[in-house]
Amino acid sequence: MSGSESVTPGSLIDLLRQRIIGAISTATAPGKWRVVVADRPALKIVSSVLQMHSVLEQNVVTIQLITRNRQPYPDMDAVYILVPCADSISRVIDDFRVDSRTGELQHRKYARAHLFFTGALSDTLLAHLRSSPAARYIKAVAELYIEYNPIESRVFLTTPSEQPFYALYSPHALNLVSRDLDAAADRLLSVIVSLGIRPYIRYYRPLSSAPYEALEPSLMSGYGTATACPRIAESMAALIQQKLNDYYSHESNTNNSTKRPETLTPSVVIVLDRSVDLYSPLLHEFTYQALVHDLIDLDGGNMYTYTLESTDGQSQSAEAELSEQKDPIWKQLRHWNISEVSQTLADKFEKLLKDNFGMQAAKQV
């Protein structure tokens, strides 16, 4: 990892970063140059926790997007980081194309391929890879389980859509429920695997609740007929347990003794949904973080663009990223009450002036 990126013990951001760097740095022999190839969703995960230079420091010549026309590096190995989907698999196979009539190599972008998938690769896609002409050039296949978005060291998102409340609670979106729950369960599985825990899953069931299949007939006519809350947490818990069982079975079949359930740390995972607390979304927090998001338009939720005046009187645009990896003051104060932050920032500014004679002189001028 780059020295400019601080490490927080137990941080999900650091865990994700370590898994990605570990995959890239150990794929080929130490000191050997390589190429990183990623699809857009995987690249978004990588860029959320790693800067470009941190990746290039791992003896990486370049980072290529798999959907674009790419410069071949036939003398270098490629480290692929991909979402486990049919499109990405087809593109990998196309990178090692052979003549369908003679079976001879017709086109090869890289020397060999090391495939790392963000989540579980289905048996169907794996079989497609194994039976393809590219199989002889594939050095390794592994699943990283990095399909989650850590926005803070101990906060992550599993939201699979832009309107999760609508998809999970609206009677007019029942066709979206299974898709969104399955996607969220995949992301939670990634967090569990990254943490290296063996969870006992507990969930909340509202007193007035019913399974989705029981709700569907009564809800089709509109909101007014809803008399029970859907069992979202229960459905999610069942999906997570199913995916965990599949994961444990898969790891047992690969003889990976370090990832068997009995070797992992026992933990408890509590699954809740919004019905357990309907008031919090209606309350206003008086924290520094809430104030910033209320008053400032942040690009991507954490990037602030502003205008400053240079020493020659020219105006120029500047950016500040509110990130716990890059801004220690933001990391320290973001969850504090506004009044405490106001006093602390004033004290810090006074100390900065006191310790910096140049700033004192500028202030007097």
Tell me: the pLDDT tens digits for 256-268? 655 677 788 899 9
- Binning pLDDT at 50, 70 and 90, where does residue 111 land? very high
Return the sign of the alpha-carbon dihedral for residues 161, 164, 166, 170: positive
Which range among 63-72, 182-191, 206-215 shows the weakest confidence by mean pLDDT? 206-215
User: What 3-state DSSP class applies to 114?
Assistant: strand
**Is the predicted pLDDT of residue 245 greater than 90, yes or no?**
yes
d(CA 193, CA 31): 29
Q: State which H helix or E strand residue 64 sits in.
A: strand 60-65
CA gyration radius for the chain? 25
What pLDDT does 100 receive?
Answer: 61
Task: Specify whether the CB–CB gap between 315 and 307 falls below 8 A.
Answer: yes
Beta bridge partners of 229: 209
Beta bridge partners of 157: 149
What pLDDT does 355 receive?
Answer: 82
**Is the predicted pLDDT of residue 74 greater than 50, yes or no?**
yes
What pLDDT digit, counting tens, does each position of 167-186 carry? 888 878 778 888 889 999 99
pTM for the predicted model, two decimal places: 0.82
What pLDDT digit, counting tens, does each position of 304-316 carry? 888 888 777 788 8
- Binning pLDDT at 50, 70 and 90, where does residue 126 land? very high
Which position has the token pair 């978004």?
A: 44
Mean pLDDT of 135-164: 88
What pLDDT does 95 receive?
Answer: 94
What pLDDT does 272 receive?
Answer: 92
**Is the predicted pLDDT of residue 82 greater than 90, yes or no?**
yes
Distances (CA, A) of 255 to 115, 118, 170, 244, 339: 20, 21, 44, 17, 56
What pLDDT does 211 receive?
Answer: 63
DSSP 8-class letter at 224: G
What pLDDT does 103 receive?
Answer: 59
Q: How far is CA 232 from the centre of its chain?
A: 22
What pLDDT does 2 receive?
Answer: 45
Beta bridge partners of 140: 114
Largest CA distance in the chain: 83
d(CA 235, CA 66): 35
Q: State the average pLDDT for the chain.
A: 85
Q: State which H helix or E strand residue 39 sits in.
A: none
- Binning pLDDT at 50, 70 and 90, where does residue 221 land? very low
What pLDDT does 316 receive?
Answer: 86
What pLDDT does 101 receive?
Answer: 64
What pLDDT does 139 receive?
Answer: 94
Mean pLDDT of 114-128: 94
Question: Which residue intervals of 137-262 are DSSP H helices?
Answer: 164-169, 174-195, 212-219, 232-253
Mean pLDDT of 68-78: 94
What pLDDT does 252 receive?
Answer: 79
**Is the predicted pLDDT of residue 146 greater than 90, yes or no?**
yes
> Of 185, 179, 204, nearest to 246 (Cα)?
185
Task: Specify whether the CB–CB gap between 279 and 285 falls below 8 A.
Answer: no
Task: Specify whether the CB–CB gap between 269 and 319 falls below 8 A.
Answer: no
What pLDDT digit, counting tens, does each position of 184-204 carry? 999 999 999 999 999 999 999
What pLDDT digit, counting tens, does each position of 5-16 carry? 554 557 899 999
Distances (CA, A) of 323 to 6, 20, 326: 11, 19, 5
Mean pLDDT of 129-133: 92
**Is the predicted pLDDT of residue 36 greater than 50, yes or no?**
yes
What pLDDT does 9 receive?
Answer: 54
Dig out the tokens for 91 from the structure: 């593109």
- Binning pLDDT at 50, 70 and 90, where does residue 219 land? very low
